[in-house]
Structure 1
Amino acid sequence: MEKVPEKITNITENHFSSKWYKKLSEDPELLTEQSSGDLSAIRNTFEPILQTIGCVPSKEALDQGWISKTAIRSYGSTWVMNPARGSGECWYGIIDSDAVLISMDLKLNERAIYRGPSVELIGFGCYGHDMTNYFIEPLPDKRPALIGYRWTYHLFQQICEAHAQFKSCSLSLRPKALERYSCLLGVTPKDILSAISQLDGTRELSKLKEAMNEFVDARPSKNCAPAYYHAKLIELLVLLIDGVHRDHTARSSRSVQDWEICEEASQYIKANLDQDLSTRTLEKVLHLSAARLIDAFRRSRGTTPQDFIRKQRVEFAAMQLLDGNETICNIAKHVGYANQGAFSEAFKAMTGLTPSRFRRDKLSHPCQNLLDR
């Protein structure tokens, strides 16, 4: 069996926000203690955190009258938030003793701090609300995001702020499970790890998200539940690997299309600097929407079409200023400006000099680069 690479994932606990999660220390004895049994290792990682934030096992919640019996799943472990501490519930199901599916929808009333050991896990999930802050820089909005991660053996501190909301559905694997499932799928552990490492919050993979939400909503019977969740786990891994591959192919194809769009636009712009080059005109000439044209320039050239046009006009004007005795007024017309004042303003904004000052200075110092300020 292929050895699992140590550093292949680029989303690890080292990227967790220090505001929420802090690695305290390595503990040589922790490895021996946690590796004694996968079931207990997984439980000993998750359940103390749930207890710290105010969750209780479903039996206790049922005795307290906080939930109904029908709300408890027939498989796995359901935990319910003490109403005095917050609201919501968390469920996890351990599959084959070394893989775990987790769903969570919790809201905290008060701040909680947990310190304890982590178990070695490699996984991914669909995270929403404040949950994303554990893994990556805050997203621009609170939309659910697909994120991969890797935990190693160490002691850590986790801070849950008051009024924080945690919503997620995820799959986590112990290393030996990674090897077993990769063999079952006909891929290598590196293939699975590589796919997990691509989940940085930017990939949509709608089919994978849908499948993850399905196991959150599912309530299979006690007899069928083990088979259902085992099949769901395999489905998630297949959709992960296939989805990342398809998304990568689509992005590569889009990059080529972006380059072709920019090349065609650039040729037209350079040949028509004295004409109307508004975005509306470019839409008609190139038969593209403004949004598609702008996206292509931003992804391929890191600029917008209008910024590119301004740069081309100023660069062409700079060459004209140093070539012969063409008047500044005529040069302005050659590069599409209706009057000399608008041209001078645009030229100065980019070069720091007026056209007349630029002509005088550059002719006095011909060794300088053309547009050096």
Structure 2
Amino acid sequence: EINAAISGARRNHWIQLTEGKMVATPLADAQSPEEIFLSRITDIGLDSTNLSVENKKVIENLKKRPEYLVMKEVKYPQISISEIGKTLLPMIEREKSKERKLTSQLITSGKWKEVEFSALDVEAPAPPVYPGRRHPLVDIIEEVKEIFVGLGFSEIDGPVVQSGFWNFDALFTPQDHPAREMQDTFYISGQRQQIPATGEQKRKVAEVHKKGWSTKWDIKEAESIVLRTHTTPVTLRHLAMIKPEVGRYFSVGRVFRNEKVSYKHLVEFHQVEGVATAPLASLRDLMGLQKEFYAKMGIKKVKFWPTFFPYTEPSLQSMVYNEKLEKWVELFGMGIFRPEVTEPLGIKNRVLAWGGGLERIAMFRFRLHDVRELYGNRLAWLRSVPRCQL
């Protein structure tokens, strides 16, 4: 290596040998041709097609040194206009002279009457545009409301904070029921509420509990304050207040459950509920209303299974067919309010009731496997959901 270095230094006239000694020349600080050439090579390389003879010799010298140069062959296409293209050049020039946009200046000055505009291809592909829009779940909520109104229902609303009386007791849910435990329901700690009901309603509800469940009924438990676990307290209080002979009502709102969050459960979600009352209301009417509701949501395959709910008898579970999953899935629960629910509140006619989570409908509509995706705020998914569902 020393001999090679000495040879290179002599070749570049950096040193000379005098009486057996190496002496630096005035050119000792000058760069070698190789150094000058290497400094010209950038990160993107150097085109070797137009190099001088001297630089080509430098390349040959550098190629002898290992790992100094990497030679790559790159092909560059040459594009030239065809004869047909040449005939179109005058047309292109004419198009360039035309206005492409109708601006406010052209309108206010009146020059739009004088200029010639270029033609627009309305079928040409355009870049996607993502304007501001409502959340897809809000679209589902509005659609559900429109369907209910179209079926002759009136919307009612109520507070999310309810007394234990209306959330549980008035619905004939025993005071020792597991659903009333703190691991299932959110309670407002240390707070109680004077029950918003008449003395007669409270007395009759207490009697029904004592007779039906053979347990002591504690008014303090009924005065506890909870975040509503369903929207039924809203519809039931409305019926108890106006006691209609015939009526159709629905409610949509947030409800709360003290549950572990999973792919199908949330702590807070939306519930839709409908009730209908009439002297001759029947279970067949209830199933007919459900089928009509699902049909308007675009769900064709529906069936009903018998089940149990504390405050309805008989009770049914609606099942709809998910074509993507290729299986039947549960949606709404339904039934006829038990006499233990309606009679203490002075409601004389049968009450058909049904309800369920709106997020489940959204999962069915948008073909989601995880309910949490509705609240993930993933822009890619939000942009992919069409405004109009076919």
Give the TM-score band, short-chain normalised: under 0.3
Q: Which has the higher helix share?
A: 1
Tell me which of the two structures has the higher relative contact order, counting C-alpha pairs closer than 8 angstroms and 6 or more residues apart.
1
In the superposition, the TM-score normalised over structure 1's length comes to 0.23
Q: TM-score, length-normalised on structure 2?
A: 0.22
